[in-house]
Amino acid sequence: MRKPLVAGNWKMNLLVADAVKLANALKPLVQDVTGVEIVVCPTFAALHAVGKALEGSNIAMGAQNCYPKESGAFTGELSPQMLLDVGCSWTIIGHSERRQYFHESDAFLNEKLKFALASGLKVMFCIGETLEERKSGKMNDVLTRQVTDGLAGLSEEADFDRVAVAYEPVWAIGTGVTATPEQAEEAHRFVRGLLEDQFGGNVSEKVRIQYGGSVKPDNAAELMAKPNVDGSLVGGASLKADGFAGIVKASA
Ligand code: PEP
């Protein structure tokens, strides 16, 4: 059994005081939830304060990105070591907004992934096709490339305890258009097959594949009911404590 992983990506939203307020509002709403791993990913600026607010709770914290060096002349970047220092146990890598707006390649994301894991972080590694790629029949090719190149070089057992794959069709992110549970299941099954081809059955059976793209409290349960959907990565709906708590509970 794979334990569902539900993560909120707060993106570039909330000043520190509002981020702490959201974390504090969320804590009592999910404190009795068992059987779901819960993560929130605030902005870099709010990590330290939110990390303090979450101490002793059942909510872990993640960053939205990291740079694959420990320290040095990399203006504007943060290392995994710095993220661990402020209380992160997770980071997102390869979100479609990083791929699209910041032109992060599969090779660079693979470098980040390996460095983050070696540094002790757990990673939600995002993949997903654009609408154009889906419509032109290239979805499977895109997912194959993102999985094959993005996860290249990971070592079977050790690394995959700490990696989740987030399938996030780009056309469903922030658009209000959710993949149907059938579309999500089809893509997740395909990705699990890629993992099996690349890393074998033990890995493919244990890796959690989250769905992301306009997940809301009222569609989370039907997505989670699919056998290959092991949680969600939630953007917009994670900015409201009751909405995110509803998604967490629907995933339990
Ligand atoms: C995301 O940012 O990963 C995401 C899925 O956003 P939203 O839930 O708003 O579509």
> Taking a C-beta distance cutoff of 8 angstroms, is the pair 226, 250 a contact?
no
Q: Please state, rounded to an integer, the average pLDDT across all residues of the chain.
A: 97
Mean pLDDT, residues 217-224 taken together: 97
Cα 101 to averaged position of ligand 1 atoms, centre (Å):
15
pLDDT at 32: 97
Q: Which residue's CA is the nearest one to ligand 1's atom 1?
A: 235
**How many C-beta neighbours within 10 Å does residue 176 have?**
9
First to last CA, the chain: 13
d(CA 251, CA 241): 15
Distance (angstroms) between ligand 1 centre and the Cα of 72 equals: 32
For ligand 1, whether the C-beta of 238 sits within 6 Å is no
Q: Are 187 and 232 in contact (CB under 8 A)?
A: no
List the catalytic residues: 95, 168
- At 38 the three-state DSSP class reads strand
Q: Is residue 235 lining ligand 1, measured as CB closer than 6 Å?
A: yes
CA of 236 to the centre of ligand 1 (A): 6
pLDDT tens-place string over residues 42-83? 999 999 999 999 999 999 999 999 999 999 999 999 999 999
CA atoms of 144 and 230, how far apart (whole Å) = 20
In this prediction, residues 76-95 reach a mean pLDDT of: 98
